[in-house]
Structure 1
Amino acid sequence: MPKVLISDALSDAAVQIFRDRGIEVDFQPKLGKDKEKLAEIIGNYDGLAIRSATKATEKLIERAANLKVIGRAGIGVDNVDIPAASKKGIIVMNTPFGNSITTAEHAISMLMAVARQIPEANASTHAGKWEKSRFMGVEVTGKTLGVIGAGNIGSIVIDRAHGLKMKVVAYDPFLSEERATEIGVEKVELDALLGRADFITLHVPLTDQTRNILSKENIAKLKPNVRIVNCARGGLVDEAALAEAITEGRVAGAAFDVFAEEPATASPLFNLPNVVVTPHLGAATSEAQENVALQVAEQMSDYLLTGAVTNAINMPSISAEEAKIMGPWIGLSGHLGNFIGQMTDEPIKSINILYDGVVSEMNLAALNSALVAGIMRKVNPDVNMVSAPVIAKERGIQIATTKQDQSGTFEGYVKVTVTTDTRERSVAGTVFSDGKPRFIQIKGINIDAEIGRHMVYTTNKDVPGIIGVLGTTMGENGVNIANFTLGRNDRAGEAIAILYADEAVSEDVLQKLRDTGKFQQVKALTFDVED
């Protein structure tokens, strides 16, 4: 009988799901806050069900001798060391869509609160004052709402804003024009949004691309008297710069549910006029908490009893029988998608996937999900193989699949082509008999490139001296090249190089390559593979 530890607060109904499925449950809802005790007993369990209080760190995972699955009731998995779990073979699951409506509603509530100064007026009235003239608010009807991030939650906010008769503009690099039309939003660049919006609400994950998206520089571009709402992630806004703008009267107010440091016992935004703050309540409704608790209990039970994988962050959603055969091809598909995702900086209109030979007879839905997840992970690190196709659909991305009998040298291969408004980009790969993936074609140019964690991709005219420039530049800057592959379409035509380095190549070294004038493109790439 599998044994599951629940170390955070889950509903009685969720606990009962485990028991009804024949799983032994140890329900200790306060244990997650006791790191030492949790580490002492974690080795006794097959599953760990958590919310946000439990921190599944690398040290804890090292002690989890029998753990097979970690289930997070909610979307955020910042409290789980996913690389450590993956290395140990532990599945990490979340419930990506259980609290979308709740979070969107909280954002709208915060917007209304800051528009009408409700919290301050409430406190004043409770204090026996009647300061009617002090709390002059603004209407939202007819105002422009700028939505940064038009994915699942952002699109719900857009729908609610239409009900409030607001004009809505959105910035989202992966939002297609077709999807924008479908949800009734004007797609704009970030600078245009900053200059036009009367209210701004953020609905993006925290990534290298979105960190401080409202930086001091961007805050200076804001329309006067704008109001900012952040119910997404701390770190998206420079809190000190925003506090300065509010103090100086350039920004009329802000409503924050999330902070760069949590629990937030101090922030530059605290105690400022017309700043509404809540303690990360975006998902805090009884309906949302119940939904995600029931979902995670069902998912974990399915995995422990049947091997079925659902909503996994680090594992495809496939049956236990398929996993052994498809594993290497799923890994390859993820790498192909990751390559395309890192190389593409504009909205993707369509993804076309070709499966040739032996791979064409496998579970193509799982392979598609792995590939699309690889593409989308650049902008959404929380994406998984179940949510990726949904997120792609939300952005209006068309996905087409073709399969064919073996047509060439390889027993099987996968080729993906993405289309944007300005170009097509393609990459193909295969799995060798040793189970290792290879890139075999980029931009129609045949190659044979081993995939490593740290890679550099270049394009250039096929002229003498390119190998020397690459080797010399890398050597002079202490970069050891583990593998190096060249390819070209024809003599004196376009050529590519892709090298695999022992360590990440710095932007300074990449710029030195660009400064040689030999390359049309120089790009660092990172893949989730073992060194």
Structure 2
Amino acid sequence: MASMSLEKNRIKFLLLEGVHPSAIATLNSAGYNEIEALSGSLDEDSLIEKLKGVHFVGVRSRTQLTERVIASADKLIAIGCFCIGTNQVDLPAARRHGIPVFNAPYSNTRSVAELVLAEAIMLARGVPEKSMKAHRGEWQKSAAKSWEVRGKTLGVVGYGSIGSQLSVLAESLGMKVKFHDVVTKLPLGNAEQADSLEELLRESDIVTLHVPETAATQDMFGAAQFSQMKSGAIFINAARGTVVVIDDLVAALKSQHLGGAAIDVFPVEPRSNSETFESPLRGIDNVILTPHVGGSTQEAQENIGIEVALKFAKYSDNGTTTSAVNFPEVALPEHHNSHRILHVHKNVPGVLAAITDVLSSNGVNITGQYLQTAEDIGYVVVDVEHGQGSKALDKLSSIEHTVRCRVLF
């Protein structure tokens, strides 16, 4: 697939699921104005139809960019997840089609951490249950099963950007923090890394999950893990819904082995606010249920909109792929007084030599060259003298193993 750079007013963006207006403002500031924004998600067939002629698509958590969708998108050159997670995108399929996927891994960490800490305090005080009873006319004024969080142990499963920030906030309230991660991490403050998940569960008064959705974390928490937790302990999941076996959590709550739970993510979630939310956790008084709003604050959404939109603009303007989750990462300077060739190809020997040979045989002078590979894809960026970028475009696109080739003027 070969393409010449378009005028910015011809590059089309599609933003779904109510992406914050800051994304549009950021793209406008970068010179992009052909932007369509929709408040909801689209099913597969509708999405395929809508993506015709679209160069950049932005989604949040509900829209599913499957291999069929990606293969059908005739003009698509980049995908943006306006959130932390990228499991809604078939990342290998996007990579095979030469499409980088960008996300916002840090912009909503504070919002998620604050919500988790607030839920921990509310559950430790038994507020959800007392509130539900008050709504029904019951008056449960009692200090029984009501504790301060000061001095209690918070067990953080997954010590990434959210888990580590939560750790700092919890310590400021006087909590002890233990964490479990698949790799050794440098603790912040006085946090301690547990030798095993079993140790963390055994010693924690509150357990909170902050892990990604992977094959390794599928059903990571079930009956065995809940049985290892302290009697009366609190469980919080603001990570991914597939990490927890919900029926096992319900059983641990109804048996009163657990003292309460707060769940923000679910194995199956409504596609829009008009759909009914179904879960076995509904109706349990000591459970806080929130509709996947851990990062849904105005501050977080504004920051996410800016972060992903800037990544779109940089990739469109000069080919920079820094922080792409599925693609070779290349940080590129501006290309003043030169044309820039972006060549995506299968990661096999000989492609770089073929590119150089094509340019040389066509009298194209190279002024800069960058190469990075990731798994099955290679990404070569070549700067050539101004006015020479289009000379060999067709021949470069015809090189064996080429996925796509684009020239920026």
TM-score over 0.5 for the pair = yes
Q: 1:286 aligns with which of 290, 298, 309?
A: 298
TM alignment of 1:376-395, pairs within 5 A? none
Mapping of residues 7-406 of structure 1, within 5 Å: 7-30=16-39, 32-33=41-42, 35-133=44-142, 136-176=145-185, 179-180=186-187, 182-188=188-194, 189-263=196-270, 265-319=277-331, 324=343, 328=347
- Residue by residue over 1:346-390, the C-alpha shift from the partner in whole angstroms, topping out at 9 and shown as x without a partner, is xxxxxxxxxxxxxxx9979x78xx69xxxxxxxxxxxxxxxxxxx
Q: What code does the residue aligned with 1:93 have? A: F
Q: In the superposition, relative to structure 1, how do residues 47 and 325 fare at CA in structure 2: closer, same or farther (>3 Å)?
A: closer
Shift in Å, 1:83: 2.0
Root-mean-square deviation over aligned CA pairs? 3.0
Give the Cα–Cα distance (whole angstroms) in 2 for the partners of residues 32 and 277 of structure 1: 22
CA separation of 1:17 and 1:222: change in aligned 2, threshold 3 A: closer
**Conservation of the 8 A alpha-carbon contact between 1:102 and 1:285:** yes
- 2:352 corresponding residue in structure 1: none
Q: How far apart are the structure 1 equivalents of 2:99 and 2:142?
A: 59
- Determine the C-alpha separation between the residues in 1 that align with 2:13 and 2:294: 27
SS in 1 for 2:155: strand
Task: Classify 1:31/1:157 alpha carbon distance in 2 versus 1 (closer, same or farther; 3 Å).
Answer: closer
Q: Is the 8 A contact 1:142 1:167 kept in 2?
A: yes
**For residues 48 and 225 of structure 1, what CA distance do their matches in structure 2 show?**
45
Tell me, yes or no, if the aligned pair for 2:78 and 2:312 is still in contact at 8 Å: yes
Deviation at 1:37, TM superposition (A): 3.6
TM-score calculated relative to the size of structure 1: 0.58
Shift of 1:31: 5.8
In 2: Cα distance, 1:207 partner to 1:13 partner:
30
Paired residues of 2:19 and 2:37 also in contact (CA < 8 A): no
**Structure 1 residue 328 displacement after superposition:** 4.6
| Aligned partner of residue 207 in structure 1, secondary structure | coil
Paired position in structure 2 for 1:344: none
Instruction: Determine if contact 2:155/2:205 at 8 Å carries over to the other structure.
Output: yes
Deviation, structure 1 residue 323: 6.3
SS state at 1:214 partner: coil
State the alpha-carbon separation in 1 of the partners of residues 166 and 245 from structure 2: 23
Instruction: Mark the runs of 5 or more structure 1 residues left unpaired by the alignment.
Output: 331-360, 372-433, 437-531
Distance 1:31 1:144, change over 3 A: closer
Query: 2:24, 2:35 within 8 Å by CA — same for their partners in 1?
Result: no
SS of alignment partner, residue 276 of structure 1: strand
Check 1:131–1:223 CA distance in 2 against 1; reply closer, same or farther (3 A cut). closer
Structure 1 contact 4–25 (Cα < 8 Å) conserved: yes
Q: Which amino acid aligns with 1:156?
A: Q
Cα distance change, pair 233–323 in 1 and its aligned pair in 2 (3 A): same
AA in 2 matched with 1:25: E
Given the superposition, is the C-alpha separation of residues 13 and 325 from structure 1 closer, same or farther in structure 2, using an over 3 Å criterion?
Answer: closer
Q: Cα–Cα, structure 1 residues 297 and 159, in superposed 2: closer, same or farther, change >3 Å?
A: same
Q: Secondary structure in 2 aligned to 1:122? A: helix
Q: Secondary structure of the residue that 1:43 maps to in structure 2?
A: coil
Offset at residue 68 of structure 1 (A): 0.6
Equivalent position amino acid for 2:330 in 1: I
AA aligned opposite 2:192:
E
Deviation at 1:121, TM superposition (A): 2.6
Opposite residue 267 of structure 1, the aligned amino acid is: S
**CA distance 1:165–1:319, change in 2 (3 Å):** closer
Letter in 2 for 1:276: I
Q: When the two structures are aligned, how many residues end up with a matched partner?
A: 338
Q: CA deviation at 1:280?
A: 0.8
Contact 1:51 1:74 in 2 (8 A): yes
Contact 2:98/2:344, CA 8 A, preserved across alignment:
no
1:249-306: per-residue Cα shift (whole Å, max 9, x none)?
A: 2111111111222238333322223111111111110000010111111111111122
Q: Give the whole-Å Cα distance in 1 for the aligned partners of 2:241 and 2:288.
A: 15
Question: Greater relative contact order (Cα 8 A, min sep 6): structure 1 or 2?
Answer: 2
Go from structure 1 to structure 2 and tell me whether the alpha carbon gap of 1:135 and 1:59 turns closer, same or farther (over 3 Å shift): farther
Structure 2 regions of 5+ residues with no counterpart?
1-6, 271-275, 333-339, 350-367, 376-398, 402-409
TM-score (norm 2): 0.74
Give the Cα separation in 2 of the matches to 1:78 and 1:166: 33
Q: Distance between the aligned counterparts of 1:325 and 1:130, measured in 2? A: 66
